[in-house]
Amino acid sequence: MTETIVVAVDGPAGSGKSSVSKAAARRLGWAYLDTGAAYRALSWYVVARQLDPADSAAVIDALPDFDYRIGTDPDTYHVFVGDRDVTEAIRTPEVTAVVSAIARVPEVRAFLTGLFRDIIRTTDRDGIVVEGRDITTVVCPDAPVRILLTADEAVRMARRSAELTGHSAAHVGEALRRRDAADSRVVDFMNAADSVTTVDSTDLDFDQTVDAVIQVVQKAAHV
């Protein structure tokens, strides 16, 4: 059996990681793994169990009962905790506001990294596009294709606030800046690590960004 080709994609919030990675996976006929969804689902679970997200010990204690499942088919993407479909619930501003506190706990990162590697190992496609904050550096540092997807902060904020109707652009922008600042104290996703290719989507539209990612994949993985 040939080994699955891993495409590792990191970047800050609103850079296009999820949407671009999903579209690239679809075009390649490969699997897609959204790692942020696991951090979000754990945050949702902590809130649902009425635990304090800032209480690391309580969050660590909850890990063995965290029954997480995610689809890796880009066309039928769903996130479950137990038998509850949380695909929508994990995107609310309430969950987004607590996710950085959960993600900074080293035991949480180790637990979820193990889970991601299991999912990657058991994929039945020729390749998998995995996106997050530490995929090129921690989860899959040996991936044959490693990409940092960036865009200027103002552009990222504008994209995000266009998605979240009902929230002011200033509020969305401030929340995004605060989350990036907190997250980047834990892992560096603003600077490309050695031999990681940067794709800057500031002046690219969505399709051009997908094209740019596919080109990096084709060049690095010869597909």
Ligand X SMILES: Nc1ncnc2c1ncn2[C@@H]1O[C@H](COP(=O)(O)OP(=O)(O)O)[C@@H](O)[C@H]1O
- Taking CA 184 as the corner, what is the angle to CA 180 and CA 188, rounded to the nearest 5 degrees? 130
Q: Does 205 bind ligand X (CB under 6 A)?
A: yes
Q: Which stretch in 112-120, 122-130, 181-189, 201-209 sits in contact with ligand X by CB under 6 A?
A: 201-209
Q: Which of 21, 33, 35, 216 binds ligand CDP (CB under 6 A)?
A: 35
Smallest distance, ligand X to C-beta of residue 45, A? 21
Residue 50's CB is within 10 A of a number of other CB atoms, namely 6
DSSP string of 105-150, one letter each residue: -HHHHHHHHHHHHHHHHT--SSEEEEEESSIIIII-TT-SEEEEEE
Q: Which of 138, 164, 204, 214 binds ligand X (CB under 6 A)?
A: 204
Q: Which stretch in 34-42, 55-63, 199-207, 211-219 sits in contact with ligand CDP by CB under 6 A?
A: 34-42
The whole-angstrom separation of Cα 17 and Cα 130 is 9
Smallest distance, ligand CDP to C-beta of residue 40, A? 5
Q: Which stretch in 51-59, 72-80, 126-134, 165-173 sits in contact with ligand CDP by CB under 6 A?
A: 126-134
Which residues lie below 8 Å from residue 101, measured CB to CB, with a gap of 6+?
53, 54, 182
- Residue 183's binding partner among ligand CDP, ligand X, none (Cβ under 5 to 8 angstroms by kind) is ligand CDP
The whole-angstrom separation of Cα 129 and Cα 107 is 25
Binding stretches for ligand X (CB under 6 A): 11, 13-20, 159-160, 163, 201, 204-206, 209
Binding residues for ATP: 11-19
